Chains A and B, each alone.
Chain A
């Protein structure tokens, strides 16, 4: 009876030790679907709206120059003998149009890059904060390129992380 008690006590202690080891050593992991988190990030949505407004405003200026250019082309086409002055005006307008179009495209690309950098900087920081606050060892990013081939659905943190990053972004 005494031996039995010792054996049973040993089993319980071993189980307890295993449980503690299991809790301490097992890294906590999860994954997020990057595209989903990015698409639903409020900061991204706000900057997207801002970018569209700026881009449209720039485009309006280009469109009105294009219209003027079309008018000058029509005017020149209707002339049997081309007026030298009109040709000069057309050439100047065309140069202005091409120059402004190029600048507008460059500015749009630069703004888009700047916004992308800002979005990714904040997104990365907030995911890092989520991991730290919730004791994750790894949070993997599933971007659909095969880097994460399979994971249990229970490890999917996309919804929780999206909620968290939006809350963080709003300074709550």
Chain B
């Protein structure tokens, strides 16, 4: 019986210590396997997986796979979706059966750029982003003008110490009350596009005064992507 009590007490003490240190252990384990958000040590090889267009689109849009990133600062969220060429093709074709010929010709057409969707969102999901914390009507017009024509120069990608300017920019204007704004972006692909460790997207937010917004993609995140299944 004494043995039982002794074991119970030791068990309790161990549990207490383990629980108190739980966060450290959890973080350490999480960093080394599948659920690591940074994907630095991801062990899954996705390259050999083949997905149909609809599955492929879902995979790309799933933030757990690292191509969609989001950051909330106060009442504003910023979200960036990297769009591989095949994803753009899926969106353009709008079908679940893409022939190898179409895929090949579309790839040739789109392959010299890399594409992103950047969103600025009111985190509570209510109201109109462009009118958020508006001080005057004049300010509204300035915001529209900035988003449509001037914002492009405040966006860049840094890769191997090179700053790549935003070459394609389109502000998707929502004329109704919308808590977000979407910007379609394109950057010219570099000559040695596969030789980098990280790519960092940079935007300096001057409209809502949240400062420099960065999203970093690792090489693994951008290349460990399933293949698109064709007919």
Footprint of B on A, CB under 8 Å? 4-5, 8, 11-12, 15-16, 19, 22-23, 43, 46-47, 114-115, 117-119, 121-122, 125, 134-135, 168-172
Give the residues in chain A near B9, CB-CB below 8 Å: 12, 15
Identity of the chain B residue whose Cβ is nearest the Cβ of A15 in the assembled complex: B12
Identity of the chain B residue whose Cβ is nearest the Cβ of A167 in the assembled complex: B38
Q: How far is the CA of A22 from the CA of B16 in the complex (A)?
A: 9
Give the residues in chain B near A169, CB-CB below 8 Å: 212, 214
Is B209's CB under 8 angstroms from A118's CB?
yes
Give the residues in chain A near B4, CB-CB below 8 Å: 8
Footprint of A on B, CB under 8 Å? 1, 4-5, 8-9, 12, 15-16, 19, 23, 38, 69, 71-74, 200-201, 209-216
- Are A172 and B216 CB-contacts (below 8 A) given A4-B1, A11-B5? yes
The CB with the most chain A CB atoms within 10 A, among B8, B38, B211, is that of: B211
Beyond A4-B1, A15-B12, 8 extra complex contacts between A and B, CB < 8 Å: A19-B16, A115-B211, A121-B73, A121-B210, A125-B72, A125-B74, A168-B71, A170-B216
Q: List 7 A-B contacts (CB under 8 A).
A: A5-B1, A12-B5, A19-B12, A19-B16, A118-B209, A118-B210, A122-B211
Is B211's CB under 8 angstroms from A16's CB?
no
Q: How far is the CB of B82 from chain A (nearest CB, A)?
A: 12
> A170's contact among B23, B74, B214, by CB below 8 Å, is which?
B214
Give the residues in chain A near B71, CB-CB below 8 Å: 168, 171
> Secondary structure of the A side of the interface?
helix
- Are A171 and B12 CB-contacts (below 8 A) given A5-B1, A125-B72? no
Q: How far is the CB of B138 from chain A (nearest CB, A)?
A: 18
Is B23's CB under 8 angstroms from A15's CB?
no
Is B23's CB under 8 angstroms from A135's CB?
yes
Is B73's CB under 8 angstroms from A122's CB?
yes
Q: How far is the CA of A171 from the CA of B66 in the complex (A)?
A: 11
- Are A172 and B73 CB-contacts (below 8 A) given A22-B16, A122-B210? no
Among all A-B residue pairs, the 3 with the closest Cβ atoms: A118-B211, A171-B215, A171-B214
Give the residues in chain A near B213, CB-CB below 8 Å: 171
Is B209's CB under 8 angstroms from A121's CB?
yes
Q: How far is the CA of A119 from the CA of B211 in the complex (A)?
A: 7
Is A16's CB under 8 angstroms from B12's CB?
yes
Q: How far is the CA of A12 from the CA of B211 in the complex (A)?
A: 55
Give the residues in chain B near A125, CB-CB below 8 Å: 72-74
The CB with the most chain B CB atoms within 10 A, among A11, A115, A125, A135, is that of: A125
Give the residues in chain B near A121, CB-CB below 8 Å: 73-74, 209-211
Q: How far is the CB of A145 from chain B (nearest CB, A)?
A: 25
Identity of the chain A residue whose Cβ is nearest the Cβ of B208 in the assembled complex: A121
Is A171's CB under 8 angstroms from B8's CB?
no
Identity of the chain B residue whose Cβ is nearest the Cβ of A46 in the assembled complex: B212
Identity of the chain B residue whose Cβ is nearest the Cβ of A16 in the assembled complex: B12
Give the residues in chain B near A23, CB-CB below 8 Å: 16, 19
Identity of the chain A residue whose Cβ is nearest the Cβ of B40 in the assembled complex: A172
Give the residues in chain B near A12, CB-CB below 8 Å: 5, 8-9, 12
